[in-house]
């Protein structure tokens, strides 16, 4: 129980619907965390890893039918269908509530309902917001205790009448059936045929049924921190964005904070934890996934990372690609759907050491590396680890006041056409760049290889309302902030030469681009105006100690007007889906781009 009558009443109402055997309020303590781990070990849903290899860590294997976010089962239940927009799945809220009532009725029989009061952001911060998740999954509780701030301090801030976002989750596997018969628990309970991840923007609610995995079940993450928060941000005049936040310090000790939005597979976490190759420059992590930004008294946008942990993709993470992520998960971690070695350690594809002759794969089966027909770890296998364990976590990452954002980066995976880096002409032009952000499809994706897949501001799966209105909100924020808004840049680490090699080495060398961004914010670095934006002059990038052929640099900074003219109709088709809700100012930006390109030919 709490001192908050509305909260207590809501918990009682959900308990009456779901009929759990008991209700447990989560206090966020280490003892309670260990209790959750113990419950998972007892039901076989978790395996204890070696204390020598991975202290205080477990491995969890999910049901093979419950391994990732399910976009086709994710719904925005706005009162009007048009408010969900063309990029979301819409469902009528009244019809969905009726369906959910049927699914949730008795869904927790034989189980415990955990009440998880959590703060997205430092407790008490005026940029933070509070949610309460009700769940019947110890896995969810343990992950939420790493990913958010949980417990009594949150209830203290909530007080007797504070605002919270209600989040309800069930794995959908009651242990007592409607006819009274009982069944044993299973290692990974779920209802794989009836998954519903639903959001109600007007009432600010999240209801999730049937999945126990990741963003479907850890409702503070994508559901609250992006889909619901984006609606709150629009209504309240702030920004909830799918962005990393990094702290960049020059050799002279000057500091700037940069936020960056990239689609998947574009190096977001790697950039947030980068080890710069430039002497004297330092990158530290504020956040690797989500940024909440609000105007402060100085008229500038200040951001917090609303999360307290990392929920990262394991395969492909290693000491070359991201040593700081590897260090972050050395202890006190939850691994999901990775392989386990005979000595009680974890293993996945592209980790730093070769596969042992034998291991147990993510399906719980014997896996022999020289005779395997599938991967040892699921491609979406995850690690959950406290952000405080990151070796390059910034000293101000939990500052309740947030950090002032000096620059915003957009970026995608583009093998041709898109230069290494450019700066927008203005906030409005930067919004245009973000709204047309795209990555090329690879051979593994459906569709034509090289075809552009648009992911505006990297928010395509996460915007809780019509994306045309979301673009308008960006423009409105720029109008409010004026010349105090962050500078906007577009980066592309993935440009290739005609023979296929990457023109830019990436990883720690990306610090050279960050240095130019840093200097542009101070009005120092040189740039040349092109039809698509301000590009570095050939001598403006610090390439000292980098063996980069002149012809590669020239291609990295080249603007092929014919290429861009061919992209204009592609952009127009992309914009057409937003209909009358596309802001006229963005349509004008596209017209102006076409005019500049024609003038340059």
Q: State the Cα angle at 471 between 447 and 235, rounded to 5°.
A: 130
How far apart (Å, rounded) are the C-alpha atoms in residues 541 and 392? 25
Instruction: Answer whether 198's CB lies under 8 Å from 77's CB.
Output: yes
Closest among 288, 309, 308 to 246, alpha carbons compared = 288
Dist CA 297 CA 126 (whole Å): 12
Residues designated catalytic = 266
Q: What is the CA radius of gyration of the chain?
A: 24
Whole-angstrom distance, CA of residue 601 vs CA of residue 596 = 9
CB 264 within 8 A of CB 373: no
What's the token pair of residue 102?
């049927």
Structure tokens at 520: 């542009």
Is residue 546 within 8 A of residue 553, CB to CB? The reply is no
Cα–Cα distance list, 351 to 161, 316, 354, 376, 582 (Å): 49, 6, 8, 11, 44
Cα separation, 450 vs 410, in Å, equals 19
Distance CA 329, CA 352 (A): 14
Rounded CA separation 14/97 (Å): 13
Q: How far is CA 189 from CA 146, 175, 339, 363, in A?
A: 21, 10, 20, 15
Name the DSSP letter for residue 90: B
Q: For 209-238, give the DSSP string.
A: ES--SHHHH-TIIIIIIIIIHHHHHHHHT-
133: helix, coil or strand?
A: strand
Do the beta carbons of residue 458 and residue 242 sit within 8 Å? yes
Instruction: Specify the 3-state DSSP secondary structure of 190.
Output: coil
Residue 294's nearest CA partner among 244, 365, 232, 340 is 232
166 in Cβ contact with 185 (< 8 Å) = no
> Look-up: residue for tokens 């209909």?
579
The enclosing H or E element of 146 equals helix 138-147
DSSP code per residue over 583-598: -HHHHHHHHHHHHHHH
DSSP per position, 547-559: ---HHHHHHHT--
Residues forming a β-bridge with 206: 167, 199
């Amino acid at each position: 129980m709490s001192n908050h009558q509305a909260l207590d009443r809501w918990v009682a109402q959900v308990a009456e619907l779901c009929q759990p055997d008991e209700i447990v309020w989560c206090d966020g303590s280490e003892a309670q965390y260990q209790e959750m781990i113990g419950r998972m070990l007892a039901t076989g849903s978790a395996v204890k890893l070696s204390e020598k290899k991975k202290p205080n860590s477990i491995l969890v294997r999910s049901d093979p039918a419950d391994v990732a976010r399910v976009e086709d089962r994710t719904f925005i239940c706005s009162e009007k269908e048009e408010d969900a927009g063309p990029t979301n799945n819409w469902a009528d809220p009244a019809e969905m509530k009726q369906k959910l009532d049927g699914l949730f009725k008795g869904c927790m029989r034989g189980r415990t309902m955990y009440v998880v009061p959590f703060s997205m952001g430092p407790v008490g911060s005026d940029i933070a917001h509070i949610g309460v998740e009700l769940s019947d999954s110890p896995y969810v509780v343990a992950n939420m205790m790493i990913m958010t701030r949980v417990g009594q301090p949150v209830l203290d801030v909530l007080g007797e009448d504070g605002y919270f976002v209600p989040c309800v989750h069930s794995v959908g596997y009651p242990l007592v059936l409607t006819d009274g018969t009982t069944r044993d628990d299973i290692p990974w309970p779920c209802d794989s045929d009836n998954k519903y991840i639903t959001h109600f923007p007007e009432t600010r609610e999240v209801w999730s049924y049937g999945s126990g995995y990741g963003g479907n079940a850890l409702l503070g993450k994508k559901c609250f921190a992006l889909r619901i928060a984006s609606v709150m941000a629009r209504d309240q005049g702030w920004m909830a964005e799918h962005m990393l936040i990094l702290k960049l310090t020059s050799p002279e000790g000057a500091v700037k904070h940069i936020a960056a939005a990239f689609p998947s597979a574009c190096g977001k976490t790697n950039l947030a934890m980068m080890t710069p190759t430039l002497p004297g420059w330092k990158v530290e992590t504020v956040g690797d996934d989500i940024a909440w930004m609000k105007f402060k008294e100085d008229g500038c946008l200040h951001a917090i990372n609303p999360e307290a942990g990392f929920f990262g993709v394991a395969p492909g993470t290693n000491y070359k690609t991201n040593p700081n992520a590897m260090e972050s998960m050395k202890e006190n971690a939850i691994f999901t759907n990775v392989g386990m070695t005979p000595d009680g350690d974890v293993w996945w594809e592209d980790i730093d050491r070769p596969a042992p002759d034998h291991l147990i794969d993510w399906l719980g089966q014997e896996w022999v590396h020289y005779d395997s027909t599938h991967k040892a770890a699921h491609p979406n296998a995850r690690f959950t680890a406290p952000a405080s364990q990151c070796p390059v976590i910034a000293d101000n990452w939990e500052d309740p006041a947030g950090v002032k954002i000096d620059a915003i980066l957009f970026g995608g995976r583009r093998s041709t056409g898109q230069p290494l880096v450019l700066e927008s002409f203005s906030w409005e032009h930067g919004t245009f760049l973000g709204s047309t952000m795209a990555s090329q499809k690879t051979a593994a994706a459906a569709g034509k290889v090289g075809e552009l897949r648009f992911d505006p501001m990297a928010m395509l799966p996460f915007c809780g309302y019509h994306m045309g209105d979301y673009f308008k909100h960006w423009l409105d924020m720029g109008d409010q902030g004026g010349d105090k808004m962050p500078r906007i840049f577009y980066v592309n680490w993935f440009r290739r030469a005609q023979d296929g090699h990457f023109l830019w080495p990436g990883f720690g060398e990306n610090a050279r681009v960050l240095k130019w961004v840093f200097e542009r914010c101070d009005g120092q670095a040189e740039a040349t105006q092109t039809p698509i934006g301000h590009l570095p002059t050939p001598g403006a990038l610090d390439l000292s100690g980098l063996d980069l052929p002149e012809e590669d640099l020239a291609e990295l900074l080249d603007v092929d007007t014919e290429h861009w003219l061919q992209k204009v109709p592609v952009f127009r088709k992309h914009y057409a889906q937003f209909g009358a809700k596309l802001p006229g100012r963005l349509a004008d930006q596209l017209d102006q781009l076409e005019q500049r390109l024609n003038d340059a030919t």
